[in-house]
A and B are shown apart, each in its own frame.
Chain A
Amino acid sequence: MESDLGLWVIPLAILGGAIRVSTPFLFVSLGEVLTERSGRINLGLEGTLVFGAMSGYAAAYLTGSPWLGVLAAAAGGAFFGLIHGLICSLPRVNDIAVGIAMMILGMGLAFYFGKPFVQPVAPDLPSIDFGWWSDVPQVRAALRVNVLFIIGAGLAFAMWWMFRATRVGLVIRVVGDSTDAARAMGLRPALIRTLSTTVGGAFAGVGGAYLSLFYPGSWNEGISSGQGLMAVALVIFARWNPIACFGAALLFGGAGALGPTLQSVGISEGYYLFFAAPYVLTLGVLIATSSPSRAMAGAPGELSITK
């Protein structure tokens, strides 16, 4: 069983880290893409993520089924999305501010109702062993892929296709780009935005369930260290493109594995700086790919954060 891979550990760990850590980023950012494409921003998905983590864990523990947990997380997330969507449909209400308040409410309710579920152990989500062909335990571990990751990847491509080629996608994009144009087409922007926000919330809830039901796979008040907030920011980075979100989530997850892995091969000085790698890398790419002339290519026209 023993196998010393030397420096090969590093790319392997980055791959494994990308697969393990990226899923919550992926789901939250896909949910936010859907929401923002409809012209609304939901900054509160961090709260939705945490509430999803709690409700998913609690439901999985109470029913014994992790999939019912995922369902509960999605339902909880959808509820938060719906509330946010309805409130922001009111004229003159600031969606950024409401999002921050909803983030606090979501975390508050999650911590409040989550107290009794910190100690119990809930069943984990299953994963698929893609590393069966290898004898190297590290490879097998890195390729133990959770089902939610695969669903998320599929969802990214499905959403990309939806925005490109389907009527639903077109409707959401029109609403997001111009309320007036949407009205002229006989669409109901408020309704469509609220629905998009609701579904977006459900995605974020599922991202939370991944945290509590698979990786790291437990519920406590520190389960999220800002993944939801970061994922919302990654949407701008990914320029509202679902497939780019998938890439951004992988990049972010892989870079996050760099810090611990470098220590494990003996590069341990200044480890805080390595821990900042995902943020530095994202900022670097962002600066390199931005330009003042096409500041916000791809941004939905009605979005308050980029208007």
Chain B
Amino acid sequence: MTDQSASAPLVVPAHRGLLGRFARRAEAVVLPLAALLVGIAVFSIFLLLQGKSPIQFFALTYQGAFGSAFSWQNTLSRTAPLLFAALCVALPARLGLVVIGGEGAIVLGGVAAGAAGVVFSQSIGLIAFPLMAACAMLVGGLWIGAVGALRYYRGVNETIASLLMAYIAIALMNHLVEGPLRDPESLNKPSTTPLPAQLRVGDIPGWEVHWGLAFGILACLLAWVLIEKTTWGFAARIAGGNMRAAQVQGLSVGRLIIGFTALGGALAGLAGFFEVAAVHGSANGSLAAGYGYTGILVAFLARHNPLAIIPVAILLAGFEASSGLIQRRMNLPAATVLVLQGFVFVSILMSDTLYGRFKMFAPERWRSA
């Protein structure tokens, strides 16, 4: 396997040194940022056509998303589930799999965490937290891992299977929290039994953002290490490039597929754990909040790079955090932020076509200038 790396197409000539490496990296930052500005410009024209002020709009967006300590908390508290949900897409994507049903793992992970919390309600947090989280990850991992297994053993398309299973998971969640797992005391909002105070995940000290954010960022970092720095990640990339060739090479593709889908699902399940233990205090219908679907967009915008998921998730959460302020101050409908997101994301995705077009990012072409 080690001789594979010799065939990697991009080998930076040593004499280009630090500057050359910097230029190459800069492309992946400069292009999306420029595209972001283009998207904002197009949206500004849209606003002008509506007779609204783009300047006021973006001043409010900044104020509502990043303009104060409160705004940052608002943004970051929306970020945590997106990180996990995006990883559930990005990890299988390394193998060329398009998994769009992370929502299913989130809701079932949440139910598992809620149910486990009831079982462990007499334990102290230090013991119960890992157990609850493990249950959530196990259920989420089995759910999306099953998608991978169906793909490998039965040739079932993972995109449609994961989507179908997301709908099934939501039905199952509703059935469980309104049926067998329902706390009879939860009269008008059917839920599992509330978690006792010692089983609630609190905020990161000094912030009003729960621990899910820190774990989400940690998960992104670890996923990056897994993909970029380990044999497994390397094997997955080869398999993602050409599944058949990987099999010929003797890679166990089945284990890779099931492993990466299950890991993605486990992380989505962890998002469900944090929603229950940090936000809702019990499992109920509010778990199906659509984070799984937003996560798909985050992952694709980040080009399935776990490190890039972090800023993209924050940007997206920031747009949503400022939505309320814009509704109230500019009398615009809630959908305005969706329109902005649409323009910005189409623009950023279009910028993919520009990679390699600019000489300043390609040190090997500098001399010929």
Whether A and B touch (Cβ < 8 Å) is answered with: yes
Residues of A within 8 A of B (CB): 87, 90-94, 96-98, 100-102, 104-112, 115, 221, 226, 229-230, 233-234, 236-237, 270, 272-273, 275-276, 279-280, 282-283, 286-287, 290-296, 305-307
Partner of A94, one of B96, B159, B163, B349: B349
Is B353 in contact with A91, judged by CB distance below 8 angstroms?
yes
**6 CB < 8 A contacts A-B:** A90-B352, A97-B297, A101-B297, A102-B346, A229-B163, A282-B160
Is B174 in contact with A97, judged by CB distance below 8 angstroms?
no
Is A296 in contact with B355, judged by CB distance below 8 angstroms?
no
B139-175 vs A, Cβ < 8 Å mask (1 yes, 0 no): 0000000000010111111011101110110011011
Is B338 in contact with A275, judged by CB distance below 8 angstroms?
no
Is A90 in contact with B174, judged by CB distance below 8 angstroms?
no
Q: Which residue of A lies closest to B97 (CB)?
A: A305
Q: CA of A105 to CA of B46 in the docked complex: distance in angstroms?
A: 12
Is B276 interfacial (CB 8 A cutoff)?
no
**A290-B154 contact, Cβ under 8 Å, with A107-B335, A230-B163:** yes
Residues of B within 8 A of A (CB): 96, 98, 150, 152-157, 159-161, 163-165, 167-168, 171-172, 174-175, 178-179, 296-297, 300-301, 333-343, 345-346, 349-350, 352-353, 355
Partner of A107, one of B98, B165, B338: B338
- Beyond A272-B175, A279-B167, 17 additional contacts (C-beta under 8 Å) are A92-B355, A94-B349, A97-B297, A100-B297, A105-B338, A105-B341, A105-B343, A106-B342, A112-B333, A229-B163, A236-B157, A236-B159, A270-B179, A279-B164, A283-B161, A290-B155, A305-B159
Partner of A111, one of B156, B333, B341, B350: B333
- Measured CB to CB, the closest approach of chain A to B147, in angstroms, equals 10
Q: CA of A234 to CA of B152 in the docked complex: distance in angstroms?
A: 20
Q: Which residue of B lies closest to A286 (CB)?
A: B156
**A100-B353 contact, Cβ under 8 Å, with A283-B165, A295-B155:** no
Partner of A270, one of B159, B175, B337: B175
**A104-B297 contact, Cβ under 8 Å, with A272-B175, A286-B156, A295-B155:** yes
Residues of A contacting B333 in the complex (Cβ-Cβ under 8 angstroms): 111-112, 115
**A104-B157 contact, Cβ under 8 Å, with A111-B333, A276-B167, A276-B168:** no
Residues of A contacting B300 in the complex (Cβ-Cβ under 8 angstroms): 94, 96-97, 100
Q: Which residue of B lies closest to A43 (CB)?
A: B100
Partner of B346, one of A96, A105, A230, A283: A105
Q: CA of A296 to CA of B157 in the docked complex: distance in angstroms?
A: 8
Q: Which residue of B lies closest to A292 (CB)?
A: B155
Is B353 in contact with A92, judged by CB distance below 8 angstroms?
yes
Residues of B contacting A296 in the complex (Cβ-Cβ under 8 angstroms): 155, 157
Is B341 in contact with A104, judged by CB distance below 8 angstroms?
yes
**A276-B157 contact, Cβ under 8 Å, with A100-B300, A111-B335:** no
Q: Which residue of B lies closest to A84 (CB)?
A: B346
Q: CA of A19 to CA of B352 in the docked complex: distance in angstroms?
A: 43
- Measured CB to CB, the closest approach of chain A to B311, in angstroms, equals 17
Residues of B contacting A110 in the complex (Cβ-Cβ under 8 angstroms): 335
- Measured CB to CB, the closest approach of chain A to B175, in angstroms, equals 4
Q: CA of A251 to CA of B167 in the docked complex: distance in angstroms?
A: 17
Residues of B contacting A102 in the complex (Cβ-Cβ under 8 angstroms): 342, 346
Residues of A contacting B175 in the complex (Cβ-Cβ under 8 angstroms): 270, 272-273
